[in-house]
């Protein structure tokens, strides 16, 4: 057995996870009619085949009609979702990969003019800066109905054969109850911290009663909103202990920050130019304080950082979500000792930008992501072999040569200038990445150069 901390199995209650690497919940906006059909399934199965231990689907799946997704999410309130999720879970399970899903009600983090044009609801009238709908202040029957919707959605996922679920509690409705900035209710759901947590605990109690103790249950939540008047680090530690002590959850999935503004969202999901793993130490503090299974993801793009997170005891499972968008075969390459062949995430956040503009998540660095069916990651050999010369050594030329070498016999790679990968647009990739804030963008150039050397590509510079 390997001594690599990342490759050690992890026992989560009754479920054995074969290594410590997971894909955290995220919505690539691949559903069709709100269902995770072939494209969605192929995306997750590709990563399951390569050895990831746990894939957490959806970011997040909507549990209620009055929680319409702003972009293309799974609709967990529809009964037909069970069959589609079962296909996905069965195929991932066949590869030894566990499957969970994140469930949510968006609360005020949506718009009234989506889907059925139902009123936006929240425990207060304060509107969110990002989506700007004026929410209806929730009444008792709204609360009871939505708790029931969570429980029904969880039951659908258990029927689909998933290993468990997590409840989303940062920026969405559960956190809107938690935060004093957004909860204007009187008791029993407003006021003290225990009252503000009551909505979440009643959801968890309902799911446990309906789905039983063998269905894994967790919460992905903010341990510090990092906002004046919001949830503090001390609140986060108290909430973490309360979640553990409740006996209702099997794991904690910790984030730090708030997502109600673009600037806040960028702190939670850091982009290029921001430091790697900015909240890892904070997640480690939660784990140390609770001694409870702790997951975390926030710009952990490289294996070395992920390995440190596990080896140092900061996390039990480490999320490498955007890293798997860039290279779905990341875990297989770690297992086979080929870490230098991992296609790096360059931090462009093209994946997120696409979904916030109404498209599906694609990768600036890997054109096969999201196109696993029509453009597989494994490049097939061409039926007829020929010799190819690629003229130009910018990123496009380097990629063309790499793909041609996979498809055909290696040819001569002839560059029009002396610096591989330096050209991209009028000023060139190198010029654009001179500042420290954009240096991560150049990571694709040395990766392609290494691939060329392994492929035996020749090159003639200044040709």
Q: What does the pLDDT read at residue 420?
A: 60
d(CA 33, CA 35): 5
Mean predicted confidence (pLDDT) in 23-44? 97
Give strand pairing partners of 191.
none
Residue 434, pLDDT > 80, answer no
Residue 2 pLDDT grade (very low, low, confident, very high; cuts 50, 70, 90)? confident
Q: How many CA within 13 A on the CB side of residue 387?
A: 5
Q: Please state the domain count of the chain.
A: 2
Structural domain contains residue 19: yes
Rounded to the nearest 5°, which phi and psi values hold at 22?
-135, 160
DSSP 307-354: HHHHHTTS-SEEE-HHHHHH-TTHHHHHHTT-GGGSPPP----HHHHH
Structural domain contains residue 287: yes
* One domain for residues 343 and 410: no
Structural domain contains residue 362: no
The alpha carbon torsion through 50, 302, 237, 17 (nearest 10 deg) reads 20
Residue 421, pLDDT > 80, answer no
Structural domain contains residue 202: yes
d(CA 164, CA 96): 15
- Residue located via tokens 């799911």: 207
Q: What is the pLDDT of residues 287-323, one digit of tens each?
A: 999 999 999 999 999 999 999 999 999 999 999 999 9
* One domain for residues 321 and 400: no
Average pLDDT, the chain: 90
* One domain for residues 153 and 290: yes
CATH number at residue 81: 3.20.20.70
Tokens of 109: 């983090």
Q: What is the pLDDT of residues 156-173, one digit of tens each?
A: 999 999 999 999 999 999
* One domain for residues 106 and 49: yes
Instruction: Write out the residue range of the structural domain in which residue 408 sits.
Output: 390-460
Structural domain contains residue 91: yes
* One domain for residues 84 and 194: yes
Question: CB of 96 within 8 A of CB of 54?
Answer: no
* One domain for residues 339 and 402: no
Domain termination site, one of 305, 335, 356:
356
Domain termination site, one of 356, 371, 399:
356
Q: What does the pLDDT read at residue 426?
A: 42
* One domain for residues 197 and 267: yes
* One domain for residues 283 and 402: no
Structural domain contains residue 371: no
* One domain for residues 420 and 293: no
Structural domain contains residue 381: no
d(CA 37, CA 381): 28
* One domain for residues 334 and 399: no
* One domain for residues 166 and 40: yes
Structural domain contains residue 54: yes
* One domain for residues 208 and 284: yes
């Amino acid at each position: 057995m390997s001594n690599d901390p990342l490759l050690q199995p992890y026992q989560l209650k009754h479920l054995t996870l074969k290594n410590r690497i997971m894909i955290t919940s995220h919505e690539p906006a691949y559903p069709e009619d709100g269902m995770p059909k072939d494209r969605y399934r192929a995306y997750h199965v590709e990563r399951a085949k390569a050895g990831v231990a746990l894939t957490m689907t959806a970011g997040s799946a909507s549990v209620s009609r009055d929680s319409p997704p702003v972009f293309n999410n799974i609709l967990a309130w529809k009964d037909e979702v069970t069959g589609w999720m079962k296909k996905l879970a069965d195929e991932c399970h066949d590869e030894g990969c566990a499957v969970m899903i994140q469930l949510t009600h968006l609360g005020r983090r949506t718009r009234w003019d989506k889907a059925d044009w139902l009123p936006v609801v929240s425990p207060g009238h304060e509107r969110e800066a990002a989506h700007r709908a004026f929410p209806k202040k929730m009444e008792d029957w709204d609360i009871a109905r939505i708790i029931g919707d969570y429980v029904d959605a969880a039951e659908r996922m258990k029927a689909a054969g998933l290993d468990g679920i997590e409840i989303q509690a940062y920026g969405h409705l559960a956190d809107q109850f938690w935060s004093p900035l957004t909860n204007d209710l009187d008791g029993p759901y407003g006021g003290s911290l225990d009252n503000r947590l009551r909505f979440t605990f009643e959801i968890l109690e309902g799911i446990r009663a309906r789905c039983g103790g063998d269905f894994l249950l967790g919460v992905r939540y903010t341990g510090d909103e990092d906002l004046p008047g919001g949830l503090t680090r001390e609140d986060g530690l108290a909430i973490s202990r309360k979640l553990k002590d409740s006996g209702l959850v099997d794991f904690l999935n910790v984030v730090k920050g708030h997502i109600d503004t673009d600037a806040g969202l960028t702190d939670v999901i850091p982009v290029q130019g921001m430091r790697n793993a900015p909240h890892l130490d904070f997640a480690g503090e939660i784990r140390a304080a609770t001694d409870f299974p702790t997951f975390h993801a926030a710009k952990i793009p490289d294996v070395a950082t992920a390995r440190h997170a596990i080896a140092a005891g900061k996390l039990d499972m480490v999320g490498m979500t955007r890293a798997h968008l860039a290279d779905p075969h990341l875990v297989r390459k770690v297992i086979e000792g080929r870490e230098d062949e991992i296609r790096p995430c360059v931090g462009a956040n093209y994946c997120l930008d696409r979904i916030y503009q109404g498209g599906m998540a694609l990768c600036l660095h890997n054109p096969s992501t999201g196109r696993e069916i029509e453009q597989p990651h494994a490049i097939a050999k061409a039926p007829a072999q020929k010799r190819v010369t690629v003229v130009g050594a910018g990123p496009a030329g380097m990629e063309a040569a790499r793909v041609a070498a996979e498809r055909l016999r290696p040819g001569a790679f002839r560059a029009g200038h002396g610096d591989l990968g330096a050209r991209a647009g009028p000023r060139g990739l190198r010029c654009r990445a001179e500042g420290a804030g954009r240096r991560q963008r150049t990571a694709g150039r040395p990766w392609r150069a290494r691939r060329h050397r392994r492929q035996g590509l020749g090159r003639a510079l200044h040709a």
